[in-house]
A and B are shown apart, each in its own frame.
Chain A
Amino acid sequence: AQSVSQHNHHVILSEAASLELGCNYSYGGTVNLFWYVQYPGQHLQLLLKYFSGDPLVKGIKGFEAEFIKSKFSFNLRKPSVQWSDTAEYFCAVRMNSGYSTLTFGKGTMLLVSP
């Protein structure tokens, strides 16, 4: 079964700092990769996804993620964070074969101080 590892459980940044959240997965086959975000008091929302093609994917609100197959990684980045980016971020993976469900990481809580 696949698993997802997020490196940091909590990250604290000042506004305008750059962000990189790590995500590694364990599965040897073809995968679909996702980052979801949960703002305080809101439901999970899709931030970006990778299915195939260009390994650098861009999502909403200036976020991007790079799929590096050799490293089994899908790190999330943003050049300059804002206070409104304070949220919990979840990496998720789905095997791209037949039917498969999403497997989530434990999440990273990002706190951006103004």
Chain B
Amino acid sequence: DTGVSQDPRHKITKRGQNVTFRCDPISEHNRLYWYRQTLGQGPEFLTYFQNEAQLEKSRLLSDRFSAERPKGSFSTLEIQRTEQGDSAMYLCASSSRGSGKDEKLFFGSGTQLSVL
């Protein structure tokens, strides 16, 4: 499978614990996005990388959320001191921007986080 892969698929944690999710984009894609999806809602943008540079992070939900893409390949999303409201599906997407603005995002299957 050469699509976007995310690990783990499911994560159950206790309130107050830190969690980290990993995303491996499609290999030739230079752009990587993180989204969050809660029940009954569409995906909500969190942050975005172009290669290793994090170009947009103002939509990260709080300072407990952080993301990295150290070598411009895989990315990690960390949530510190988790709260029950952090329970959601965390989606990763990647793209290789085509000519003009013909950008198409490819999504992973997501990591389902449950905070008890």
Contacts and interface: CB of A to CB of B under 8 A. Distances in A.
Contacts of B43: 44, 90, 102, 104
Contacts of A107: 40-42
B104 A49 contact: yes
A106 B108 CA distance: 19
Interface in A1-32: 4, 9, 32
B110 A43 contact: yes
Interface string B54-67: 01100100000000
Nearest to A96: B101
A42 interface: yes
Contacts of B110: 43
Interface of A is mostly: loop
A47 to B, nearest CB: 12
A51 B41 contact: no
Contact of B56 (A45, A92, A99, A102): A99
Contact of A99 (B55, B102, B107, B108): B55
Nearest to B6: A43
Contacts of A4: 42
B48 interface: yes
Interface in A27-70: 32, 36, 42-46, 49, 51
A44 B90 CA distance: 12
A105 B42 contact: yes
A106 B102 contact: no
A82 interface: no
A51 B101 contact: yes
Interface of B: 3-4, 33, 40-45, 48, 55-56, 59, 91, 93, 100-102, 104-105, 107-110
Enumerate the 10 nearest inter-chain pairs by beta-carbon distance, A residue then B residue, closest first.
A104-B42, A44-B107, A101-B45, A43-B109, A43-B107, A104-B43, A90-B42, A106-B42, A105-B42, A107-B42
Given A43-B110, A96-B101, A99-B55, 6 more contacts: A44-B91, A44-B93, A92-B42, A104-B43, A106-B42, A107-B42
10 contacts: A4-B42, A9-B40, A42-B109, A44-B93, A46-B104, A99-B56, A101-B48, A102-B105, A106-B41, A106-B42
